[in-house]
Amino acid sequence: MLPLIDVCIAGWGSYIPLYRITVEEIAKVWGKSAKHFKDELLIDEKAIAGQDEDVSTIAVEAAKNALRRACISPKRLGAVFVGSESKPYAVKPTGTIVAEAIDATPRVLAADLEFACKAGTECLQCCTGLVGSGMIEYGMAIGADTAQGAPADALEFSAGCGGTALIVGQKKKTKDPVATLEGSVSYVTDTPDFWRRPKKEYPSHAEAFTGEPAYFTHTVSASKMLFEELSLKPSDFKHAVFHQPNGKFPIRAAKYLGFKREQIDAGLLVPSIGNLYSGSSITGFSAVLDVAKPGDRIFLVSFGSGAGSDAFSFTVDDGILAKRDLAPTVERYIERKKNVDYAIYAKYRRKIVV
């Protein structure tokens, strides 16, 4: 897919909460071994939202950081999309909360999207369409989650909190474009690998079925479709970012496609913050923008259960250098941390029912 008008990333910003819990701490409570999660799934600890945080607050901080880097008035945003599977309200848009908090209201389109872990890049596709057709000047795409994992379930070891906002603009009208979109594809099928039914607190999953027919089929297929459409190959990219439910999956998918380990390192965040679900792949992308150089080509592919993948190719522009230091980097947020024990984690994540 290619928009009629060239679009670019005009600004980017992320947010990772302060608190962390290690896989050892979770394993200790449930009598499990941390070794599997550390050595095979490559997760050391995960980020958890504080008691006064939710997807709205995470999205607002990421959005403010993106606006700082975009150097535009929030009134120029024509759309604010929030992708999440942990909306604070079942009915009431997170998009309006974010749009109001960043002062983008009232002349703005605001909506929430859900597609398991793929909702962040869905927002990016929507913004690309609106900006690339000339309907709006700038659009904000946010992927954020306070991911749920049932106590003792494998997901509890990886489900993290955090998110990223990307501001998409028309390249010709954007001062100091950060990265230009070369093209994108979306690949979806009805594959029930992971789901959460209404009124249920925690998601369910089909165990190993989440791997081969779900994550790998969709991620690899979308990637190959994009390479074919743009006549590109893995070696043409400086950086590659994959959805990161754990460390094992993206490394294996990257290797299968022909990427080298050094191409995915900058965007591989799951060992230190866990799986940010809707925020996972785009926060990896944000971390890559924090270090990328003008001329670099970046590959981004998401995955959302249910299932589908969006794949993108960007080339980095000179404007990235002027904007990088205008907001905290992902690395800065990862360094800023405080580890808590399971009791505090259970309180913060509302696992204690009073």
Partner 1 sequence: MSVPRYWRNMPKREKLESKKCEKCGHVDFPPRARCLKCGSDALIPYTLPDRGKLTSFTIVRSAPKGFEKMTPYVLGVVELIDRTLITVQITDVDPSDVAIGMPLESVFRKVCEDGDCGIIEYAIKFRPAV
Residues found near partner 1 in the complex (CB under 8 A): 18, 50-54, 56-57, 60-61, 64, 88-89, 97, 100-101, 103, 328, 332-333, 336, 338, 347, 354
Q: In whole angstroms, how close is the CB of 47 to partner 1 at the nearest point?
A: 13
The residue (of 55 and 292) whose beta carbon lies closer to partner 1 is 55
Q: Are 161 and 17 in contact (CB under 8 A)?
A: yes
Looking at the Cβ atoms of 8 and 340, the one nearer to partner 1 is 340
Of the residues 45, 53, 61, 85, only one is catalytic, namely 85
Active site includes 182? no
Residue 205 a catalytic site member: no
CB of 18 to partner 1, least distance (A): 5
Peptide bond between residue 151 and the one before it cis (omega within 30 degrees of 0): no
Of all helices (H) and strands (E), which one includes residue 284?
Answer: helix 280-289
The per-residue b/e assignment along 64-93, b for 16 or more CB within 10 angstroms, e otherwise, is: bbbbbbbbbebebbbbbbbbbbbbeeeeeb
| Nearest alpha-carbon partner for 128 in 297, 310, 295 | 310
Looking at the Cβ atoms of 56 and 174, the one nearer to partner 1 is 56
Asked if residues 171 and 9 have their Cβ atoms less than 8 Å apart, the reply is no
Q: How far is the CB of 124 from partner 1 (least distance, A)?
A: 22
- Written as six digits, the tokens of 310 are 């969006």
Dihedral, 56, 58, 64, 67 alpha carbons, nearest 10 = -90
Name the active-site residue from 205, 218, 239, 243: 243
Beta strand 194-195 pairing with 204-205: antiparallel
> Using CA atoms, how far apart are residues 193 and 208, in angstroms rounded to an integer?
9
What's the min distance (Å) between Cβ of 278 and partner 1? Answer: 19
Question: Of 50 and 192, which has the nearer Cβ to partner 1?
Answer: 50
State which residue, 4 or 354, has the beta carbon closest to partner 1: 354
Shortest distance in whole angstroms from residue 183 CB to partner 1: 35
Q: What angle do CA 105, 107, 112 make, to 5 degrees?
A: 70
Beta carbon of residue 216, minimum distance to partner 1 (angstroms, whole number): 37
* Choice between 18 and 29, CB closer to partner 1: 18
Q: How far apart are CA 336 and CA 348, in angstroms?
A: 18
The single residue of 8, 61, 117, 239 carrying the catalytic annotation is 117
- Residue owning tokens 């792949």: 281
Concerning whether 161 is annotated as a catalytic residue, the answer is: no
Tell me the C-alpha distance between 241 and 297, whole Å: 11
**Which residues are annotated as catalytic?**
85, 117, 243
